[in-house]
Structure 1
Amino acid sequence: MSSTSNTNISPVASITVRDAVIDLMRQFGMTSVFGNPGSTELPMFRNFPEDFRYVLGLQEAVVVGMADGYAQATRNASLVNLHSAAGVGNAMGNIFTAYKNRTPMVITAGQQARSILSLDPFLSSAQATELPKPYVKWSIEPARAEDVPLAMARAYYIAMMPPRGPVLVSIPVDDWDQPAQLLPARIVSTELRAEPLMLDQIAAALDASQRPAFVVGAAVDRDNAWDAVVQLAEKHNARVWAAPMSGRCSFPENHRLFAGFLPAMREKIVGLLDGHDCIFALGAPAFIYHVEGSGPYIPPGATLCQLTDDPATAAWTPIGTSAVGSIRLSVLDLMAVSAPPPRALPAARPERVRAEPSGRISVAYVMQTLAELRDPADIVVEEAPSARPVLQTYLPITRSEGFFTMDSGGLGYGMPAAVGVALGKPGVRVVGIFGDGSSMYSIQSLWTAAQLKLPIVFLILNNRRYAALQDFAPVFGFTDSDVVQGTELPAIDFVALGKGLGCQAVRVTDAALLRDALQQALHSSTPVLVEVEVA
């Protein structure tokens, strides 16, 4: 972040709110605006600067999803522009996901003119600051037009403070042309070390352990702590599990110490961690559950330690010792104070069984084929809940920033996030893996990808149903003969949708043709949709 204003505004010209905000965003490196325009936002974009770009999404949830992927890929807050109450309402599903993803994002929302707000005008937001709560870190409608630049600066700093997240600034339409002053960007520290005494206690517990286990969550990769965590795990010869429902990959999944993925069920977590006497949750809640469980939170006789960048997560963790601070800096501190005894390597993860082609294409065969063909540097963005366990088995992620999905469980994030990641990582191919049901929440993303000619493979696993719900139904008492209402999705033509939105598109129904279709898509310089009919 620069502390020197870099403005194209003439020193003799009158400075407006618009001038000051544009100048400030330029200093923050936020020159991409993700939006879907409405009437109350139009003055923001008059005389739009040449060094900015407007990334158009065809629906507000798509806009926020793109901005989420972009912010995660660039490690900087993204700038989003939404339309008053209706636009913010449309976007709320992905605002919720951005909040759960801990994605830094500054959202500006249009508002009607101050002079008529008391008359409840058309397209006004009656409670603009309350609408996005509780899924923004902060929201404000400045009391005066001249306060808008300062509110935007504060919004940026709050969004970037750990745990990061979205913020919202509601801006009346007549504020943009009011006089204001330029603001210099400030340098604000956002990395806080955990308390040394707490780290000493965690180091002592790890050193005294005979069979330690690490549970790594999304904050490891978000905080650029991948390499440090690998070194710490190797120092302790600890088995490493991925935390339940983690939105990032935080440990190489082909590493000798990698043990697999914990499910979001208490009893199964305890069973998989049984035999470990010290469990260390790094950058992860301890633990996320999807269904009600019972019994202990960890195996009997084990101790739990946690390192998190989120005080709220530390507060609700039911047992153990929690340290709060930067994952990367704190792990480096742990490396310096930890001195474990020599330990034997834990048992290796069982080899997976190779998938073979059959009459109906299996998801396992699709993931295995993709793993054999893709460049390891390709980034995977996933939103295929029923296929995720198979993906985790057959498509190992081996690099930092190599995988993105949603921490929220809300659908509609994946397709636009793939667009945002591709924009944030120019020159890198993105492979998006989506269920047919998930795809329909944000299919408009294909249009933006086509318009921008982004190198994205949109791989749609079409099983003609909401498979995750059908698979989950027995947990709630459904039998094999019961019909799960509203879960069948016949007759969706994704090839037609892809072509209609400007993408190349192909359908694969024969396993013998899968490799060639994926090979061509992975070498295209523009987006390609590959629909695979799977069993």
Structure 2
Amino acid sequence: MLSKAIPIPRVYTVRHAVIDMLRQLGMTRIFGNPGSTELPLFRNYPQDFSYVLGLQEAVVVGMADGYAQASRSASFVNLHSAAGVGHAMANIFTAYKNRTPMVITAGQQARSLLQLDPFLHANQATELPKPYVKWSCEPARAADVPQALARAYYIAMQEPRGPVFVSIPADDWDQPSQRVAIRHIGFETRPDARTLAMIGDALDDAQRPVLVVGPAIDRGGAWDAVVALAERHQARVFAAPMSGRCSFPEDHPLFAGFLPAMRERIVEMLGNHDMIFTVGAPAFVYHVEGQGPFIPPGAKLYQLIEDPAIAAWTPVGMAAVGNIRQGIEELLTRPQKVSRPAPPCRPAPPVPAASADGERMSVAYAMHTLARLRDPHSIIVEEAPSSRPVIQSYLPIFHSAGFFTMCSGGLGHSLPAAVGIALANPQSKVIAVIGDGSAMYAIQALWSAANLRLPITFVILKNRRYAALQDFAKVFGYRDGDKVEGTDLPDINFVHLAMGHGCEGVHVTDATQLPEVLQAALQHPRPILVEVEVA
């Protein structure tokens, strides 16, 4: 009788350890654009994993950014070595400013080649993404790769969250390894109770308190708590400058509007308040040089922020550092001592008219029409800097996780981010409102949306110019009518671009046709682009 053959045990490799670790962490969706040094990771790719392909590395990181923000968990990115990371750097910078948890890996040439300056290797690989990653590593040994990735995940998720980077030589994946034990780590830090008590006292004692809310509120799940705090103190609420998330319902009677990134205007708009409480935002982000005080005379500034670096550079006031939700919830446990009259509501903007004969429609009319037709629970993803003040007036956001844009000012984020957000929220309608200049930084994301068959409505506001730069030129001494070089765009056909990437597209010039076109696009079961000619 023949004895039963005993199977030869497989060698447990770095690839096995990493796949098992990612599965335990729930990171089974990999965003990437593969190169030669990444191929060993994907041999015998597991069936319970998916690969989200982007046609350019900036698109890959943008999609992963949107997915991580919408899912509130770290995403996993796989890039090629130096050239691929270089392509991705703009959106790595944005992910850093967005505080997006993201584990970014990049291939590296085989260790035996690194002393020979090989083709497509990364020289000083860990230095390339700095300073816009929280941590950067190329493990000293192949056996260290799984543990380095585990460490990267924990660092990415620790507040303040952000992207991390691990460079992995191509021959490491097939080397023997050990399983990685997944540990529980508390990623939130409770703010100092004594400092919170001082902030609570200041809120109680103030005559006219104001809250300035920022993206860390929505990132940290503190939306409801902040609304409760504002209502308790009858405090007006402004959105912080350059905020990448909506952190307060914009139809609420206490919502007062949006602060600009200009020191003098911020002081002017906060001038009637004696206590300023900045929650989840820097105090303050500026875009142009300013003069004079940072806050109105006689006012005092208090801050609650999860990032100690922001608290350190804030020029005035007192700061509590730690998790936003825990800090606000602790303030809400205090007994209510004062009752104030409600401040006056901000006036509603006038209803915009359709364009006159022969004129392009206004952005205000386009956004007012979109706001009227969209599901209020749909998600807006925006990147139209020159139109942002108008969008803020006519396309209000009502719900947590209902709005995303970039905190960095770097273009090319939001079009691919819409793809990642739609992947994370298959039950929600995603609407991407993108300027024509911004769209060209990451237009390849349309292919990913089409390939994944995601029902995203892309609204391109086509003003045929880099309008933000033309408007901003006055700050630097340009006069009305002066030519600003490099800001006029040629006649780009976005419908053809959409079709070339597998999406349907429609062009709208006549304002009277816009409601019908938008209604059909919002109900479309696949990605569709609406190119809107605006003044």
Residue in 2 that maps onto 1:432? 432
Residue in 2 that maps onto 1:76? 73
- Residue of structure 2 aligned with 1:260, choices 243, 257, 262: 257
Residue in 2 that maps onto 1:135? 132
Report the secondary structure of 1:307's partner residue.
Answer: strand
- Cα distance in 2 for partners of 1:371, 1:115 equals 58
Residue in 2 that maps onto 1:33? 30
- Cα distance in 1 for partners of 2:294, 2:228 equals 27
2:5 paired with 1:24: no
- Residue of structure 2 aligned with 1:191, choices 188, 192, 195: 188
Q: Higher mean Cα deviation, 422-431 or 210-219?
A: 422-431
- Displacement of 1:491: 1.2
Residue in 1 that maps onto 2:4? none
Residue in 2 that maps onto 1:499? 499
- Displacement of 1:338: 5.4
Q: For residue 419 of structure 2, what is the amino acid of its counterpart?
A: V
Assess, with a 3 A threshold, how the Cα gap between structure 1 residues 72 and 11 changes in structure 2: closer, same or farther. Answer: farther
Query: Structure 1 segments of 4 or more deviating over 4 A?
Result: none
- Cα distance in 1 for partners of 2:77, 2:420 equals 12
- Cα distance in 1 for partners of 2:243, 2:9 equals 52
Matches within 5 A, 1:208-247: 208-247=205-244
2:159 paired with 1:162: yes
TM-score of the two chains, using structure 1 as the length reference: 0.98
Matches within 5 A, 1:43-192: 43-192=40-189
Query: Do the aligned residues in 2 keep the contact of 1:362 with 1:534 (CA within 8 Å)?
Result: yes
- Cα distance in 1 for partners of 2:169, 2:310 equals 35
- Displacement of 1:14: 1.5
Report the secondary structure of 1:54's partner residue.
Answer: strand
Query: Do the aligned residues in 2 keep the contact of 1:208 with 1:340 (CA within 8 Å)?
Result: no
Report the secondary structure of 2:333's partner residue.
Answer: helix
- Cα distance in 1 for partners of 2:159, 2:363 equals 37
- Cα distance in 1 for partners of 2:337, 2:152 equals 43
- Displacement of 1:444: 0.2
Report the secondary structure of 2:316's partner residue.
Answer: coil
- Cα distance in 1 for partners of 2:56, 2:224 equals 38
Query: Do the aligned residues in 2 keep the contact of 1:306 with 1:321 (CA within 8 Å)?
Result: yes
- Cα distance in 2 for partners of 1:337, 1:102 equals 30
- Displacement of 1:358: 1.1
- Cα distance in 2 for partners of 1:491, 1:375 equals 32
Q: Higher mean Cα deviation, 333-342 or 206-215?
A: 333-342
Can you list the C-alpha shifts for 1:420-479, whole angstroms capped at 9, x where unaligned?
Answer: 000011121100000000000000000000011101000000000000000111011000
2:275 paired with 1:278: yes
- Cα distance in 2 for partners of 1:386, 1:91 equals 24
Q: Higher mean Cα deviation, 147-156 or 330-339?
A: 330-339
Q: For residue 407 of structure 2, what is the amino acid of its counterpart?
A: D
Report the secondary structure of 1:177's partner residue.
Answer: coil
- Cα distance in 2 for partners of 1:421, 1:318 equals 35
2:371 paired with 1:371: yes
Can you list the C-alpha shifts for 1:35-62, whole angstroms capped at 9, x where unaligned?
Answer: 0010000001000000000000000000
- Displacement of 1:496: 0.4
2:452 paired with 1:452: yes
Residue in 2 that maps onto 1:42? 39
Report the secondary structure of 1:252's partner residue.
Answer: coil
- Displacement of 1:73: 0.6
- Displacement of 1:350: 1.1
Query: Do the aligned residues in 2 keep the contact of 1:203 with 1:338 (CA within 8 Å)?
Result: no
Matches within 5 A, 1:392-411: 392-411=392-411
Residue in 2 that maps onto 1:4? none
Assess, with a 3 A threshold, how the Cα gap between structure 1 residues 533 and 80 changes in structure 2: closer, same or farther. Answer: same
Q: For residue 148 of structure 1, what is the amino acid of its counterpart?
A: V
- Cα distance in 1 for partners of 2:441, 2:481 equals 29
Report the secondary structure of 1:337's partner residue.
Answer: coil
- Displacement of 1:11: 10
2:322 paired with 1:325: yes
Q: Higher mean Cα deviation, 332-341 or 471-480?
A: 332-341
Q: For residue 166 of structure 1, what is the amino acid of its counterpart?
A: P
Unaligned runs of 5+ in 2: 1-6
Query: Do the aligned residues in 2 keep the contact of 1:18 with 1:177 (CA within 8 Å)?
Result: yes
2:335 paired with 1:344: no
- Cα distance in 2 for partners of 1:520, 1:92 equals 37
- Residue of structure 1 aligned with 2:10, choices 13, 17, 25: 13
- Cα distance in 1 for partners of 2:470, 2:202 equals 43
- Cα distance in 2 for partners of 1:11, 1:110 equals 30
Query: Do the aligned residues in 2 keep the contact of 1:221 with 1:400 (CA within 8 Å)?
Result: yes
2:273 paired with 1:297: no
- Cα distance in 1 for partners of 2:337, 2:295 equals 22
Q: For residue 14 of structure 2, what is the amino acid of its counterpart?
A: V
Q: How many residues are paired up?
A: 526
- Cα distance in 2 for partners of 1:81, 1:351 equals 46
TM-score of the two chains, using structure 2 as the length reference: 0.98
Unaligned runs of 5+ in 1: 1-9
Q: For residue 128 of structure 1, what is the amino acid of its counterpart?
A: A
Report the secondary structure of 2:517's partner residue.
Answer: helix
Q: For residue 245 of structure 1, what is the amino acid of its counterpart?
A: M
- Cα distance in 2 for partners of 1:289, 1:58 equals 34
Can you list the C-alpha shifts for 1:177-234, whole angstroms capped at 9, x where unaligned?
Answer: 0000111211110111100000000001110000000000000000000000000000
RMSD: 0.9
- Cα distance in 2 for partners of 1:326, 1:451 equals 38
Q: For residue 434 of structure 2, what is the amino acid of its counterpart?
A: F
- Displacement of 1:337: 2.2
- Cα distance in 2 for partners of 1:165, 1:408 equals 13
Query: Do the aligned residues in 2 keep the contact of 1:207 with 1:338 (CA within 8 Å)?
Result: no
- Displacement of 1:340: 3.8
Identity across the alignment (%)? 67
Q: For residue 58 of structure 2, what is the amino acid of its counterpart?
A: A
Query: Do the aligned residues in 2 keep the contact of 1:266 with 1:289 (CA within 8 Å)?
Result: yes
- Cα distance in 2 for partners of 1:453, 1:37 equals 21
Residue in 1 that maps onto 2:478? 478
- Cα distance in 1 for partners of 2:338, 2:19 equals 56
- Cα distance in 2 for partners of 1:167, 1:402 equals 26
- Cα distance in 2 for partners of 1:327, 1:267 equals 28
